Copies of this chain bind each other. A is one copy, B any other.
């Protein structure tokens, strides 16, 4: 029996990962087999931040299930939400989140939210303040379309992609930090680690010292500071940049060292590993042209699986209604 899915924000919201992957494969084979399940149901997608893959794939997923879809882009500058109670709202914020969220909830059946880490306060980000307010006040099932600390639709798509490509029961999967010109959130690596730790894969994280992820996300993963050593025998290389998590360096760039760029020579250390990345990717910073264009690169298939993960999640929510 399936777990009834109230919200989808992290790996724990899926009770049995193996069953979920199996269901996802079914969804991928027959995307329109449930095309009346969402009849007269409305999916509202709320974007506080920009998006390409998530925007398109989540719309597609909901439409495959016969839902109506409404997209709402909340422009940072134009439409500011007050979050503190007790404030005299005489400034630039025109609406309180305590009104805005239940109103949005009243116009839909499922609500997707994208809201990145702001890097103003680690506590604020890691408390998932925005996402949790949607859960608390919308009155509707909430799907995280990437929040401050996790990107679960991406991680689920990543897991599906690995399951489709793995050649051994317990592949070696390596999450590697790589350089980037701007400070990026830890949501994707946190989330990927969380999902990999929920499998029985041989899971390794490699990054320069100082880039340690939060302990609750590292979990049982092996941390290896020597990237080359980490790559040895790997079946999957999952590259991603992130900014520092630790203490005072939270949200900061500690290194742009291109010695960490994934290239052909390093990929030769692996067990003919597949190359993965959530996209968008900075070529020749994160990964060289050669590697991302090689037959072992599965980044486009991985992105295509974003429809599959989203549709599986939304399907479960609809079935529980």
Could you tell me which A residues sit within 8 Å of B by CB distance?
31-32, 35, 40, 42, 44, 50, 52-53, 55-57, 59-60, 63-64, 68, 70, 72, 78-79, 82, 85-91, 94-96, 98-100, 102-104, 106-108, 181, 256, 258, 279-285, 289, 292-293, 299-300, 303-304, 307
Contacts and interface: CB of A to CB of B under 8 A. Distances in A.
Given A78-B50, A89-B285, A107 B57 contact: yes
Nearest to A256: B90
A198 B52 CA distance: 39
A56 B89 contact: no
- Residue of A32, A78, A82, A89 with most chain B CB atoms under a 10 A cut-off: A89
A68 B57 contact: no
A53 B289 contact: no
Contacts of A56: 44, 70, 72, 104, 107-108
Given A32-B40, A50-B78, A103 B300 contact: yes
A94 B85 CA distance: 37
A99 B285 contact: no
Contacts of A68: 60, 63
Given A63-B42, A70-B59, A90-B181, A99 B280 contact: yes
Contacts of A60: 42, 68, 70, 107-108
> Majority SS of interface residues in chain A?
mixed
Contacts of A57: 107
Please indicate which of the listed interface residues A98, A100, A282 has the most CB atoms of chain B within 10 Å of its own CB. Answer: A282
A281 B59 contact: no
A73 to B, nearest CB: 9
10 contacts: A32-B40, A42-B63, A53-B103, A55-B72, A59-B70, A88-B285, A89-B283, A96-B283, A103-B303, A106-B300
A290 to B, nearest CB: 10
A304 B300 CA distance: 38
Given A50-B78, A79-B50, A89-B282, A303 B106 contact: yes
A216 to B, nearest CB: 29
B284 A103 contact: no
A79 B292 CA distance: 21
Contacts of A64: 40
A102 B300 contact: yes
B50 A103 contact: no
A40 B67 CA distance: 12
A201 to B, nearest CB: 25
B63 A284 contact: no
A108 B64 CA distance: 11
B279 A87 contact: no
A104 B280 CA distance: 12
